[in-house]
Amino acid sequence: MYKDDEKEPGTQYEVKTILVVEDDFEQANIIRNYLESADYAVLLSRDGVSGLEQALKNAPDLVVLDVMLPGLSGIDICREIKKQKDVPIIMVTALSSEEATLEGFGVGADDYIAKPYRPRELVARIGALINRYKRVDKKITLMGVPGLEVDIARHQVKVDGREVVLSAREFEILAVIIAEPGRVFPRSQLLELAFGFDYQGLDRTVDAHMGNLREKLGDDPKEPRFIETVYGVGYRVIDA
């Protein structure tokens, strides 16, 4: 680990900790900068042995794991982590062959990304995977704040007990932001998380869908009850 990370005092949401095991110093710091900009706490390790030690000792919320590492391979680390911990793992590799990908999934990897990749795509994948674990592994299919209820399993939304019909895009946006009330989601991150990594849209697409979503929820943007605009950044669900 390059240095200790501390959670910012007074944070309104639970800060998620990401362990990045990457022997390329420059690449590791690029990932770190992007993750910290997305409000994650980051732990870094540059070799396989210390990476495995940190994964088992520090209980991160997700591990970004390079395949080619000194000391211990990413495949071996992934296999050992999954024996002892139920933590999501994204494998990162310069090997793009189908065999390499299948080997990673075979030892329990939850996702796979090949180098070179866009750091924003990695951040989006991390957010999506953490949310998926929260919903599935902890069986959290019902989320909400006072007056607003989102049932993931039934694809159903209720405001004060009244069902509201949303489009697929509107539902995906709401499902992403309500999973972590109080957390600010930048428009670009919402675009990738809700619409997919390869969606060729613009940030203002999110604003358009958000406007429709608020109207259906009966939420006045000037005096928001559920969704607050953080000007110049993005949106968050009000943590009542």
User: How far from the centroid of its chain's Cα atoms is residue 13's Cα?
Assistant: 14
| Domain range for 183 | 142-237
Mark whether 174 and 216 lie in a shared domain.
Answer: yes
Token pair of 39, please?
Answer: 């409000």
Q: What is the pLDDT of residue 206?
A: 83
Q: Specify the number of domains making up the chain.
A: 2
Let me know whether 124 and 21 are in one domain.
yes
pTM, two decimals, is: 0.58
CATH number of the CATH domain containing 217: 1.10.10.10
Q: Is the dihedral of CA 130, 131, 134, 137 positive or negative?
A: negative
Same domain, residue pair 122 and 30: yes
DSSP state of 238: -
Q: Is residue 177 part of a domain?
A: yes
Residues 152, 61: contact at Cβ < 8 Å?
A: no
Q: Which of 107, 136, 165 is the last residue of a domain?
A: 136
CATH number of residue 117's parent domain: 3.40.50.2300
Q: Give yes or no: residues 71 and 28 share one domain.
A: yes
161 and 212 fall within a common domain: yes
Q: Do residues 28 and 115 both lie within one domain? A: yes
Indicate if 81 and 182 belong to the same structural domain: no
- Mark whether 158 and 122 lie in a shared domain: no
Convert the pLDDT of each residue in 192-207 to its tens digit.
Answer: 777 665 455 566 778 8
pLDDT tens digits, one per residue of 42-99: 999 999 999 999 999 998 999 999 988 998 999 999 999 988 888 899 988 876 555 6
